[in-house]
Structure 1
Amino acid sequence: MQITITDAASKWFHDDMGVTTGNGVRFYGKTYGKTAVHSGFSIGVMRDDDPHKPITTTAKDGVTYYVNDRDEWFFKGYDLTVDYDADNDGPKYEYLANHEG
């Protein structure tokens, strides 16, 4: 699994979530909602500067974005691209099938 953070998404995380160099952002699966690849589950995002057993990480503009081992089930078989959605003034997520799952 790979995580890609666009420049626009990075700006949103810095401006709206207040992250800065040395911080971390965790993506996770949560109950209720819907994604393009999951029904009954949606993606969650939270500031978490201390990754617990990350299965993947990526750094962008000094911030580490990651998924930990407890949420592997949610992302298995997909890469995640995080972009900025101006209409909703927040992140949007694209799941791209990979050959790992």
Structure 2
Amino acid sequence: MNITVTEEAASWYKDELDLEENDNLQFYVRYGGVGGLQPGFSLGIKVDTPYEAVAETSVEGITFYIEKSDEWYFDNHSLHVSYDEQWEEPAMSYEN
């Protein structure tokens, strides 16, 4: 499992969440939502410190990561976060 974040998406997170260099942004599994890999669950985000990251990448000075405890959700898929120009927000997709 890997995680990729485009520079455009990273910039959006930095601006919207007032993130600074060396901050960490976690993608975590939450109950509810639409469009996830597992029925009834979706991804949330929070600024936190990695504990046991199973996937991470640094873009624009921000470390984006997923904890081992949420690995089940991805079912051997990788997370790709890009920027959707039409909606002016990040878009998540999952790749084998």
Q: Same fold (TM over 0.5)?
A: yes
Residue-by-residue CA offset, 1:13-63 (whole Å, 9 max, x unaligned)? 111111121100000111112225222111111111x10111111111111
In structure 2, stretches of 5+ residues that fail to align are: none
Between Structure 1 and Structure 2, which shows a larger proportion of strand residues?
Answer: 1
1:68 alignment counterpart: 67
TM-score by length of 1: 0.86
Task: Supply the AA of the counterpart residue of 1:75.
Answer: F
1:2 alignment counterpart: 2
State how far apart, in whole Å, the 2-side matches of 1:20 and 1:81 are: 22
Equivalent pair of 1:28/1:74 in contact (CA under 8 Å):
no
TM-score by length of 2: 0.90
Which ranges of 4 or more aligned residues in structure 1 deviate by more than 6 Å?
none
State how far apart, in whole Å, the 1-side matches of 2:36 and 2:29 are: 13
% identical aligned pairs = 31
2:45 alignment counterpart: 45
Equivalent pair of 2:32/2:42 in contact (CA under 8 Å):
yes
